[in-house]
Structure 1
Amino acid sequence: MLNKLKRAALGAHTPHDKATAASKPVPMPLPAQVRILMSQHIGAPAKALVKKGDEVFVGTKIGEAGGFVSANIHSSVSGTVAAVEAFRLSNGRMCDSVVIKTDGKQTVDPAVKAPEVTDKASFLAAVRECGLVGLGGAGFPTDVKLQPKQKVDTLLINASECEVWLTSDTQEMLECSDDIIRGIKAVLQYTGIPKCIIGIENNKPECIDLLCKKTKDDSTIEVKPLPSVYGTGAELILIEKCLGREVPHGGLPADAGAIVMNVTSVSTLGKYLATGMPVVQRTITVDGDACAKPQNVVVPVGTAYQDILDYVGVKGELGKVVAGGAMMGPAVENLSYPTTKTTSGLILLSKAAAQPAQVNPCIRCGRCVEYCPMGLEPVEVNQAYAARDVQELGKLHADYCFNCGSCSFVCPAKRPVTQMMSLAKAFYLGEIKKGGNK
C-alpha cells in the first residue's frame, strides 16, 4: 500500500443503491437439479467422492479437499447423482462437477451433527470439515487462513459491504447476529487472538446499533463504524482504516498482525458449530433495473442462474447479468452457470443500461489517480504497460490493483481503465514469475 494512501486516496463515491436492504432472505423453490462444482475456492479442486446413481442428502460430503489449500464440498440437496462430469469455469479452466437430480424432500444426512470442539486442533479440523471459505468473494479456505505463521493480535471482520446493490451481508447481520458473535468468540478462544474489530460502513446504522448492543459487555469485541466510501471492503484498505497499519508489499494481512474474515463467513462458522450443517446454501441479492422483484433469496449451492432469474422475474429486455457486485462482478456468459459458495449477488441489467458508453481519448484529468483507493496512478501504469516496461510497472506498484473498478467509474472519457490495469498487473506478475526484467 502506498504511503500517500492515508492522506490522499479516498475511493469512489458510488450510488447507495441498496433497495433490498430491508428484504429478509426468502428461500426460493427447490430447482429440479443442481450442478455443484468441485472448484469453488482458491487452491486445488476437491476430488469427487460420488458416482452416477449414488443417493445423497443435504450435507453429504461429495468432494474431498484436494490439498492443504483446498476445501471440502457438500451436497446442497437430497436426491440422486445424475452425472459426474467436466465443466468449464468462468476463467476458462475445466473442473469436475456433480449434477444431482433433486427429490424434493431435502432430507438431511444423518452424519450432520454439531462438531466436538475442545482445543485448537479440533477447532481447525471442524472448520476444514465444514468446507468454509471466504464468502465475500475471495474463496480462500478458512482453516488455512486461521493458521498463520505470523503473530496475529486482531481478528478483523469485514462487514462493510460497499458494493453497489448487494445487501446479503446486511441481512446476515440483522438476522443472524447471534451466529456472528458465536463464530467470533470461537475464533478468539481457539486461536488465541486477543481481540476482534467488526468494521461496518456508517450507512448501515441499524447493523451498527444491533452489533454494538450484542457486544456491549464484551471488551474483546469492538464495532467500528467506517466511512461510506467504495473500496473500504478491500483487505488492505480495511486494515489501514481499522488498525492504522500497512501490509508490507507482497505480504498478507497476517504480516500486519490481522486476520480478515467476511461477516457472512464468521456467521456461517457460528451456525456450523451449533448445528453441524456445512456450507450448502447462500443468501444472494438479486437486483438491477431489469429485475422484476428485487430481493434477497436463499438458494442451494449449485443452483443455475437461470432458475434464479425464473423465480425473481425479468422486466423489459435483459441486456446483461453480472455475478456478484456491479463494480467488480464479471458479466455472465451462460445462465446455466451454477451458484457457488462465493456467489453473493446477481445484477440484472436492461439492454439500455448494459449498452457500453462511447470511449473518448484520455484528457489526463487525474480523476483515476485521485479516487484510486490504493493510491495508484492508472495513467502512468497505462503508459508503462504500453511500453511493456516491467521495471516501471514495479515502481508504480501495478500489482497493488485489486480491480475494484473505481478508475473506470470516475473516468469522464469512459475509458476501460480497470481492464487496462488488470492487463498491466497480469503482464507484470507474469514477467516477474518468469524472472524477466526487474
Structure 2
Amino acid sequence: MRTLYDFPGGIHPPENKRQSSETPIRIANLPERLIIPLQQHIGAPARTRVSEGDRVLKGDVLGDTEGAFSVPVHAPTSGHIERIGPHAVPHPSGLDDWCVTLIPDGKDHWGACHPLPESDQQDPDRLLAHIHKAGIAGLGGAGFPTGIKLRPPETDSIRTVILNAAECEPYITADDRLIRDRAAEVVSGLQIVRRILNPEQCLIGIEDNKPDAIQALESAVDGTGIEVVVIPTRYPSGGEKQLIQVLTGEEVPHGGIPADIGVLCQNVGTAAAIHRAVYHGEPLIQRITTLTGDALCEPGNVETLIGTPIRHLLDSAGFDEARAGDVLMGGPMMGFSLPDLAMPVVKTTNCLLAGSPEELPPPPPPQPCIRCGYCADACPMELLPQQLFWFAQSGENDKAEQHNLFDCIECGACSWVCPSQIPLVQYYRSTKGEIREQREEQIRADRARERFEARQARLEREQAEKEAKRQARKEAAAKARQTPPASKAAPERSAAASETVAAPSEAPDIETLEKQLLKAQAKRNNMRNMLDDARKRGADNVDKLEKAVAKNDDRVDAAQKALEKARSGLTETGGATE
C-alpha cells in the first residue's frame, strides 16, 4: 500500500453531497439562446471569427487563439449569430465581457469532426496540438489552457502524473458523478496524458467519502498500470498543492509550479474532455455541472452546453426563487455570488448552489479580531492569516506580499473558523488585485519611459545628422567663396541679362518664409506642451501625440531649410548683380 503523507491545517465542514450525488447525470435541455464568452480561461481572450448573422454548425470555431495563453471557443450547437458584444459573465469582479450570442436552430447539426485514429501511436506534439485546437482548459476551476499545461518547461522532467478526483469542496459532486457514470472515459483521457508526458507513474487521488467512484475507477484502471490512491477526507485535500503533498510527500516551492518537482496534476473532467476530443473529435462545448441547494426541487448533475443561461439551468431543476437566497457559482468555501442569473455557464462552472437563507445565512457583521490564532491553525499553506489581514486592512501591500500573500490558495478555511466572522479571503483577494494593478501600472510606465527615451535618442541622432549636413553646406559655401573669379576673357553679360538677374520680381520672399518658420515653431512648442501634459496624466493618446510632434519637427526643419536656401540664393544673386 502506498504511503500517504499529511499537509498542515485543514478543516471538516459539512459535506452536503448526498443532495446531488444519488442520481445519474441528466442532459440539460436546449435554451432559447446561448451566450458564449470569448474568455473562459486564464490568459488572453479568443479573437472573434464570426460576424452577426452568420450561420454556424455545432463545433465550429467562434473565436480563435490570441497569443500563447489562449484557447479557441466553439459553437455548442447549430444556429445563427444574433449578437457579438458585452454581456454579464460569471466572475467575482461582476464586470461584463465580450460574448457571442447564438440562437439555436434546434437541429443540433455537427460540423466537421476530426478524431485522431490510433491515438496510442500518435506523436505527442500532434496530440498536444489536437487538445489545444479543441479548446480544452482546466475544468477544475482555474481554467488553465490544457495544451500549455501538458507542455512543461524543457528543464522539468515529469515523473508523476496525478489525476485529481478528490473534489473536497462541500456540495459539489460533478467529478464524483462523472467517475461513477463514465469512468472509462476518465481513465482513457489519463492514458492520453501519459502518452504525451511518459511519466514514471500515474496516480488518481480520491477522497474516501466516494466509495462508488472508487470502485468504478479501480475497475477501469485494471491492467493499465494506473494506481488509484484513496486519501482521508479533509478540506482542502483537493487543492493541487495539498494533493501533491499527500501523495508524494513533496512540497511545491514558493513561487514555483508542480512541474518544478516533477509532478503534473489534471482534473478528472479535463481528462474526460481530452478523451472526447481525441477519440471523437469533439471540442469542449459542454460540461458536467452540479445543481444543488434547498431552493431546487430536483438537485443533481447535468451535462449542459457552454453558454446556457444560469436561470434556464436552475429552472430545469425546479428553482424556487421565493425560497432562494444568494446563488453561488462553486461551493460555499470558494464560490462567489452571482448578481445576475442571465449569466452563462462557462468552462469552469462546476457547481451552481441555490441555497435558502437558512442553508446559506448572510454573514453577521464582522467583529474585531481577538487574536485567537484559529486561522493560522487552519491554513493549509502555513501562512499568517491574521498578519495578512492587518496588512490588507491598513493598505500595506508591500508587507502583505513579503508575508507570502500570493501563496494563499483562497480556500476559505481561515474565514470558516474565524469566531469574529471576518471575511479574511475577501481582504486577500482585494489586496492581490491591488498589487496586480500596481504591477501592471508599473509595466505601463516602464514601457512609456522606454518609448520616450527611444524617441529622445532618435531625435538627438536626427539633430546630429542635420547639424552635420548644415556644417557640410557651410564648409562648401566657404570653399565656393574662395574660388578665383572667372577669366576676363569670358564674354561679358549683356545689360539686359544683368537687369534680368537683378530684377526684383526674381528675389525670394524672405519675409513670408520667416513667418512660416515662426508659425511652425509655435505649433511645435504647443504640441510638445500637450505631449508633456498627456504623459503626466498617463493618457491613452501619448503615441498619437508623439507622432504629431515628430511630424511638426519635420515641418520646422523643412521651413528652416527653405529659409536658409532662400537667403543663400539672395546672397548669390546680389553678388552676381554687383
Report the counterpart of residue 3 of structure 1 in structure 2. none
**Preserved CA contact (<8 Å) 1:289 1:348:** yes
Following superposition, the deviation at residue 395 of structure 1 comes to: 4.4
Report the counterpart of residue 148 of structure 1 in structure 2. 152
Query: Does 2:376 match 1:369?
Result: yes
Cα 1:7–1:169 shift into 2, 3 Å: closer
Higher CA-based Rg: 2
Report the counterpart of residue 233 of structure 1 in structure 2. 238
Following superposition, the deviation at residue 147 of structure 1 comes to: 0.7
1:5-58 deviation per Cα after TM superposition (whole angstroms, max 9, x unaligned): x87723111111102112211112210110111101011101111112211122
TM score, norm. by length of structure 2: 0.71
Query: Does 2:272 match 1:255?
Result: no
Tell me the secondary structure at the aligned position of residue 229 of structure 1.
Answer: coil
**Structure 2 stretches lacking a partner, 5+ long:** 444-578
Tell me the secondary structure at the aligned position of residue 205 of structure 2.
Answer: strand
**Larger fraction in helix:** 2
Query: Does 2:12 match 1:13?
Result: yes
Of 104, 107, 124 in structure 2, the residue corresponding to residue 120 of structure 1 is 124
Q: Supply the AA of the counterpart residue of 1:77.
A: T
Tell me the secondary structure at the aligned position of residue 115 of structure 1.
Answer: coil
Following superposition, the deviation at residue 317 of structure 1 comes to: 2.8
Tell me the secondary structure at the aligned position of residue 336 of structure 2.
Answer: coil
Distance 1:391 1:36 in 2: 38
Distance 1:180 1:92 in 2: 33
In terms of mean alpha carbon deviation, does 86-95 or 427-436 score higher? Answer: 427-436
Report the counterpart of residue 306 of structure 2 in structure 1. 301
1:152-187 deviation per Cα after TM superposition (whole angstroms, max 9, x unaligned): 111111111011111010011111111111111111
Tell me the secondary structure at the aligned position of residue 346 of structure 1.
Answer: strand
Tell me the secondary structure at the aligned position of residue 152 of structure 1.
Answer: coil
Compare relative contact order (CA 8 Å, sep 6+) and give the higher one, 1 or 2: 1
Query: Does 2:136 match 1:132?
Result: yes
**Preserved CA contact (<8 Å) 2:150 2:196:** no
Following superposition, the deviation at residue 329 of structure 1 comes to: 1.0
Cα 1:394–1:215 shift into 2, 3 Å: same
Report the counterpart of residue 102 of structure 2 in structure 1. 100
**Structure 1 stretches lacking a partner, 5+ long:** 1-5
Following superposition, the deviation at residue 209 of structure 1 comes to: 2.1
What is the RMSD of the two structures over their aligned residues, measured on CA atoms? 2.0
Of 309, 317, 321 in structure 2, the residue corresponding to residue 312 of structure 1 is 317
Cα 1:176–1:7 shift into 2, 3 Å: closer
Report the counterpart of residue 187 of structure 1 in structure 2. 193
Of 335, 338, 341 in structure 1, the residue corresponding to residue 344 of structure 2 is 338
**Preserved CA contact (<8 Å) 1:166 1:345:** yes
Q: Supply the AA of the counterpart residue of 2:234.
A: V
Cα 1:432–1:302 shift into 2, 3 Å: closer
Report the counterpart of residue 347 of structure 1 in structure 2. 353
Distance 2:412 2:432 in 1: 14
Report the counterpart of residue 66 of structure 1 in structure 2. 66
Distance 2:7 2:243 in 1: 16
Following superposition, the deviation at residue 104 of structure 1 comes to: 1.3
Report the counterpart of residue 31 of structure 2 in structure 1. 31
1:251-293 deviation per Cα after TM superposition (whole angstroms, max 9, x unaligned): 1111121111101101111122111111111111111121221
Of 416, 419, 425 in structure 2, the residue corresponding to residue 418 of structure 1 is 425
Query: Does 2:407 match 1:405?
Result: no
Q: Supply the AA of the counterpart residue of 1:396.
A: H
**Preserved CA contact (<8 Å) 2:397 2:431:** no
1:70-128 deviation per Cα after TM superposition (whole angstroms, max 9, x unaligned): 0111111111111122234433555321111111121111x113135520111111101
**Preserved CA contact (<8 Å) 1:132 1:265:** yes
Distance 2:129 2:353 in 1: 36
Distance 2:145 2:7 in 1: 34
Q: Supply the AA of the counterpart residue of 1:143.
A: G
Distance 2:335 2:163 in 1: 22
Following superposition, the deviation at residue 433 of structure 1 comes to: 6.8
Distance 1:276 1:22 in 2: 31
Q: Report the count of equivalent residues.
A: 429
Cα 1:388–1:100 shift into 2, 3 Å: closer
Tell me the secondary structure at the aligned position of residue 299 of structure 1.
Answer: strand
Distance 1:391 1:45 in 2: 30
Report the counterpart of residue 46 of structure 1 in structure 2. 46
Query: Does 2:176 match 1:170?
Result: yes
Q: How does 1:254-273 map to 2 (within 5 A)?
A: 254-273=259-278
TM score, norm. by length of structure 1: 0.93
Q: Supply the AA of the counterpart residue of 1:213.
A: S
- Identity among equivalent positions (%) equals 33
In terms of mean alpha carbon deviation, does 68-77 or 307-316 score higher? Answer: 307-316
